[in-house]
């Protein structure tokens, strides 16, 4: 969206999914605009930038183009319509997180909002959508009315369940009379708010008895009590990989038991068509929704229909580049494992440009960068061979998957294994390419590559150098100091106490600390110079889980601190915010993590006089980058050779 107007990028995203066999998709969200409001944080400017707003008829042509494009592929599309308490004021008076008290909205304001829902739905119909999905979760106003946690009203909109649902029914009536009978009208329901006095699956089942038959469908979700991040509830709206696939089953099944006419949909890490099938067969839902599974692989439905389940590119569930970018930061959405997301027009299915000249390509290193380069190059018609130093493909992902609760990160390695097996890529395992001119010449004689892609990754550093103190930690070269790469080799051999000092901003230090507790360490201390662990995370992705897991594993977290020195007894740490305050921590092992370092340019230099085209990708240029950075680099280079 740009200024609330649908763009070609948005169209391409939805068309890609329609082409991939998706039966019904949904665009989020048309925001209604009453004449009054709290105007928190320039909401109108912010929201109008990202979402269509109901009082702007100029949003219609762009949306019309979108619905027409999607319909061409036999797919349907609904529009989510929403109203937010942080825009208009709360259902019941409550201080916002700033402490500012906002008065509860009045009955005449409620009437106006209901009317606006009707007007918004007319735009939805005009734009050619097939249905209206009323946003009734994630802290939307409808949820704030029906939830006992947020509705403290004593008038006809509060008190009993019937009263709390009155607003919803008034909105449904307004929408139905605006769109007629040919459009589906339904809602998103939060069936487990996970807060005291909030909606539970049992409460949602009672609600379903009342709305059954009044709405066509109900899209059941979990986990949300409102806007405030402090409650951590935003984390539960789209659960990360720490939560099992299909986590919404209890909630949807509970609603399904009560709803006889209204169609019940389930969501929640339904990543696998077989799990989706089980939901329907076992009666947990009438249909399933997949958000992340279809971000990662828009062709999931078609691949399922043609029985190619092993070809489905798996969502790894870290929320790093979808929710973690778009919702947390308002950056364009991307996907860790699918470099085509947000660029479907250029990179989408069928848009691969075959190579004009077939070349022999030598890829060195089978981390995500090298694997993606090999996949794309081969798909474009090149002859590809991969040399990998270790006994398996995956690079650092083989360590990433060892962090407790993060095995799903390894799912993408398995996918590459299948994809490369199906293509003509030859993988040579246990074949390190050394920086030795003679071996390089021999290799070139043997493979005769026209192009070499170097994706040899990086090494974790353990000297403690970073841009906080600008120096190494004294004593870093002691016997008892390990890098994050080295520590995993001690699996099953860890005893005694350990200290993890991590100045980086992602989950690695926290994950290693938890791993140590699960692999024999009697006590673990985690030191970070930041105000909290893994500051790059937010409640929109994994933070709530990472901190909860550290507490459950009894890891002592020391913030605003760093390591002064290390010796054979352990480490001395100091408080950055309290000059002079030091603490000696006696431990058997210190794991120092301040980032990674690339493996040098020697290989590139050696190949440069012998091969016409040489590329470096991934961590071997930008050490300490991400999975997406690596995959993206592999894609980019391989799509241009």
Ligand X SMILES: Cc1cc2nc3c(=O)[nH]c(=O)nc-3n(C[C@H](O)[C@H](O)[C@H](O)COP(=O)(O)OP(=O)(O)OC[C@H]3O[C@@H](n4cnc5c(N)ncnc54)[C@H](O)[C@@H]3O)c2cc1C
Q: Which residues bind ligand X (CB under 6 A)?
A: 318, 320, 364-370, 387-390, 395-397, 399-400, 403, 409, 432-433, 455-458, 484, 507-508, 599, 618-619, 625-628, 630
Strands 570-575 and 458-460 turn out to be: unpaired
Of 199, 327, 363, 376, the one binding ligand FMN (CB under 6 A) is: 327
- 400 is in the binding site of which of ligand SF4, ligand X, ligand FMN, none (Cβ under 5 to 8 A by kind)? ligand X
Q: How far is the CB of 520 from ligand SF4 (least distance, A)?
A: 31
409 counts as binding ligand SF4 under rule CB under 6 A: no
269 counts as binding ligand FMN under rule CB under 6 A: yes
Of 268, 348, 395, 464, the one binding ligand FMN (CB under 6 A) is: 268
118 counts as binding ligand FMN under rule CB under 6 A: no
Contact positions with ligand SF4 (CB under 6 A) in 225-284: none
Residue whose pair of structure tokens reads 């369940």 in the numeric block: 161
Residue whose pair of structure tokens reads 């000249």 in the numeric block: 357
Please state, in angstroms and rounded to a whole number, the distance separating the CA atoms of residues 81 and 87: 14
- 221 is in the binding site of which of ligand SF4, ligand FMN, ligand X, none (Cβ under 5 to 8 A by kind)? ligand FMN
Q: Under a CB-based contact definition with an 8 Å cutoff, are residues 54 and 135 in contact?
A: no
Determine the interface stretch with ligand FMN among 206-214, 287-295, 465-473, 486-494 (rule: CB under 6 A): 287-295
DSSP string over 438-474: HHHHHHHHHH--SEEEE---EEE--S---TTTSSPPB
- 60 is in the binding site of which of ligand FMN, ligand SF4, ligand X, none (Cβ under 5 to 8 A by kind)? none
Q: How far is the CB of 601 from ligand X (least distance, A)?
A: 12
Residue among 426, 348, 334 nearest 383 (CA): 426
Burial class (CB in 10 A: 0-12, 13-18, 19+), 282: exposed
Please state, in angstroms and rounded to a whole number, the distance separating the CA atoms of residues 589 and 455: 31
Q: Under a CB-based contact definition with an 8 Å cutoff, are residues 172 and 188 in contact?
A: no
Q: How far is the CB of 398 from ligand X (least distance, A)?
A: 8
Strands 582-586 and 570-575 turn out to be: antiparallel
Q: Under a CB-based contact definition with an 8 Å cutoff, are residues 612 and 451 in contact?
A: yes
Of 116, 164, 166, 292, the one binding ligand FMN (CB under 6 A) is: 292
DSSP string over 242-286: TS-TTTTHHHHHHHHHH-SSSEEEE-SS--SHHHHHHHHHTTS-S
Q: Which is nearer to ligand FMN, 141 or 327 (CB)?
A: 327
Contact positions with ligand FMN (CB under 6 A) in 69-98: 80
Of 121, 144, 150, 291, the one binding ligand FMN (CB under 6 A) is: 291
Strands 184-190 and 217-221 turn out to be: parallel
Of 333, 349, 402, 623, the one binding ligand FMN (CB under 6 A) is: 333
Q: How far is the CB of 13 from ligand FMN (least distance, A)?
A: 11
Which helix or strand (DSSP H or E) is residue 418 part of?
helix 411-422
Q: Under a CB-based contact definition with an 8 Å cutoff, are residues 373 and 416 in contact?
A: no
Q: How far is the CB of 29 from ligand X (least distance, A)?
A: 28
Residue whose pair of structure tokens reads 């971000």 in the numeric block: 295
Q: How far is the CB of 629 from ligand X (least distance, A)?
A: 6
DSSP string over 39-62: -GGGHHHHHHHHS-BTT-GGGHHH
* C-alpha torsion sign, points 588, 593, 594, 599: positive
Q: Which is nearer to ligand FMN, 296 or 592 (CB)?
A: 296
Q: How far is the CB of 512 from ligand X (least distance, A)?
A: 7
Strands 523-527 and 556-558 turn out to be: parallel
Contact positions with ligand SF4 (CB under 6 A) in 275-304: 292, 295-296
Q: Which is nearer to ligand SF4, 293 or 592 (CB)?
A: 293
- 594 is in the binding site of which of ligand SF4, ligand FMN, ligand X, none (Cβ under 5 to 8 A by kind)? none
336 counts as binding ligand SF4 under rule CB under 6 A: yes
Determine the interface stretch with ligand FMN among 288-296, 369-377, 434-442, 459-467 (rule: CB under 6 A): 288-296
Question: 258 CB contacts (<8 Å, ≥6 apart)?
Answer: 205, 206, 208, 209, 212
- 335 is in the binding site of which of ligand SF4, ligand X, ligand FMN, none (Cβ under 5 to 8 A by kind)? ligand SF4
123 counts as binding ligand SF4 under rule CB under 6 A: no
Question: 18 CB contacts (<8 Å, ≥6 apart)?
Answer: 25, 69, 70, 72, 73, 74, 75
Of 86, 146, 279, 323, the one binding ligand FMN (CB under 6 A) is: 323
Please state, in angstroms and rounded to a whole number, the distance separating the CA atoms of residues 383 and 416: 17
Q: How far is the CB of 48 from ligand FMN (least distance, A)?
A: 15
Question: 548 CB contacts (<8 Å, ≥6 apart)?
Answer: none
Please state, in angstroms and rounded to a whole number, the distance separating the CA atoms of residues 130 and 349: 25
526 counts as binding ligand SF4 under rule CB under 6 A: no
Q: Which is nearer to ligand SF4, 337 or 563 (CB)?
A: 337
321 counts as binding ligand FMN under rule CB under 6 A: no
- 396 is in the binding site of which of ligand X, ligand FMN, ligand SF4, none (Cβ under 5 to 8 A by kind)? ligand X
Q: How far is the CB of 630 from ligand X (least distance, A)?
A: 3
Query: What token pair was written down for 122?
Result: 């007319």
- 188 is in the binding site of which of ligand SF4, ligand FMN, ligand X, none (Cβ under 5 to 8 A by kind)? ligand FMN
- What distances in angstroms separate CA 230 from CA 210, 235, 484, 523, 538, one per listed residue? 32, 10, 31, 29, 11
Please state, in angstroms and rounded to a whole number, the distance separating the CA atoms of residues 249 and 280: 11
Of 104, 297, 321, 514, the one binding ligand SF4 (CB under 6 A) is: 321
Q: Which is nearer to ligand FMN, 476 or 540 (CB)?
A: 540
Of 316, 327, 376, 473, the one binding ligand SF4 (CB under 6 A) is: 316
Of 179, 235, 266, 337, the one binding ligand SF4 (CB under 6 A) is: 337
29 counts as binding ligand FMN under rule CB under 6 A: yes
Residue among 225, 122, 235 nearest 180 (CA): 122
Q: How far is the CB of 372 from ligand X (least distance, A)?
A: 8
Please state, in angstroms and rounded to a whole number, the distance separating the CA atoms of residues 620 and 458: 6
Residues that bind ligand FMN (CB under 6 A): 28-29, 80, 135, 138, 188, 221, 237-238, 267-270, 290-293, 322-323, 326-327, 333
Residues that bind ligand SF4 (CB under 6 A): 292, 295-296, 315-322, 335-337
């Amino acid at each position: 969206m740009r200024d609330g107007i649908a763009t070609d990028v948005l169209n391409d995203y939805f068309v890609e999914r329609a082409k991939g066999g998706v039966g019904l998709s949904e665009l989020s969200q048309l925001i209604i605009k009453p004449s009054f409001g709290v105007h928190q944080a320039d909401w109108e400017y912010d929201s109008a930038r990202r979402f269509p707003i109901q009082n702007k008829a100029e949003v219609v042509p762009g949306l019309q183009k979108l619905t027409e494009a999607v319909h061409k592929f036999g797919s349907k599309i609904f529009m989510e319509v929403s109203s937010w308490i942080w825009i208009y004021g709360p259902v019941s008076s409550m201080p916002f997180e700033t402490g500012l008290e906002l008065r509860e909205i009045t009955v005449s304001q409620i009437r106006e909002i209901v009317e606006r829902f009707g007007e918004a739905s007319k735009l939805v119909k005009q734009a050619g959508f097939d249905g209206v999905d009323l946003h009734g979760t994630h802290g939307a106003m409808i949820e704030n009315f029906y939830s006992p946690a947020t509705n403290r009203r004593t008038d006809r909109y509060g008190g009993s369940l019937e009263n709390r649902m009155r607003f919803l029914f008034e909105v449904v009536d307004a929408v139905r009379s605006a769109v007629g009978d040919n459009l589906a009208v339904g809602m998103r329901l939060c069936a487990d708010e996970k807060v005291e006095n909030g909606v539970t699956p049992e409460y949602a089942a009672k609600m379903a008895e009342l709305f059954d038959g009044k709405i066509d469908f109900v899209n059941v979700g979990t986990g949300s009590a409102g806007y405030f991040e402090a409650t951590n509830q935003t984390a539960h709206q789209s659960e990360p990989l720490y939560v099992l696939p299909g986590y919404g089953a209890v909630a949807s099944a509970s609603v399904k038991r009560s709803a006889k006419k209204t169609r019940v949909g389930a969501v929640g890490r339904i990543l696998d068509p077989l799990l989706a099938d089980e939901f329907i067969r076992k009666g947990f839902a009438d249909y399933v929704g997949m958000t992340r599974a279809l971000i990662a692989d828009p062709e999931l439905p078609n691949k399922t229909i043609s029985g190619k389940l092993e070809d489905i590119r798996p969502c790894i569930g870290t929320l790093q580049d979808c929710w973690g970018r778009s919702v947390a930061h308002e950056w364009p959405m991307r996907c860790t494992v699918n470099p085509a997301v947000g660029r479907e027009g250029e990179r989408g299915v069928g848009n691969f440009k075959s190579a004009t000249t077939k070349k022999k390509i030598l890829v060195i290193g089978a981390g995500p960068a090298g694997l993606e380069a090999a996949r794309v190059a081969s798909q474009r018609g090149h002859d590809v061979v991969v040399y990998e130093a270790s006994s398996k493909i995956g690079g650092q992902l083989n360590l990433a998957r060892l962090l407790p609760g993060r095995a799903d990160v390894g799912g993408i390695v398995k996918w590459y294994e299948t994809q490369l097996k199906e293509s003509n890529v030859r993988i040579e395992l246990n074949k390190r390419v050394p920086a030795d001119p003679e071996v390089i010449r021999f290799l070139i004689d043997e493979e005769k590559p026209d192009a070499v892609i170097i994706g040899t990754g990086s090494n974790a550093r353990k000297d403690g150098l970073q841009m906080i103190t600008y120096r190494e930690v004294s004593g870093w070269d002691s016997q008892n100091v390990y890098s994050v790469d080295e520590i995993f080799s001690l699996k099953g051999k860890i005893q005694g106490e350990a200290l993890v000092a991590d100045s980086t901003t992602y989950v690695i230090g926290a994950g290693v600390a938890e791993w140590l507790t699960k692999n024999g360490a009697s006590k673990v201390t985690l030191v970070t110079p930041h105000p909290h662990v893994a500051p790059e995370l937010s409640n929109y992705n994994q933070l709530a889980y990472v901190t909860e897991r550290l507490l459950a594993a009894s890891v002592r977290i020391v913030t605003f601190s760093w390591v002064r020195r290390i010796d054979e007894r352990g480490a001395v740490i100091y408080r950055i915010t309290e000059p002079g305050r030091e603490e000696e921590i006696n431990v058997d092992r210190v794991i120092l993590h301040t980032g990674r370092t690339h493996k040098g340019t020697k290989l590139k230099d050696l190949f440069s006089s012998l091969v016409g085209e040489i590329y470096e990708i991934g961590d071997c240029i930008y050490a300490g980058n991400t999975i997406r950075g690596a995959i993206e680099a592999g894609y980019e280079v391989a799509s241009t050779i």
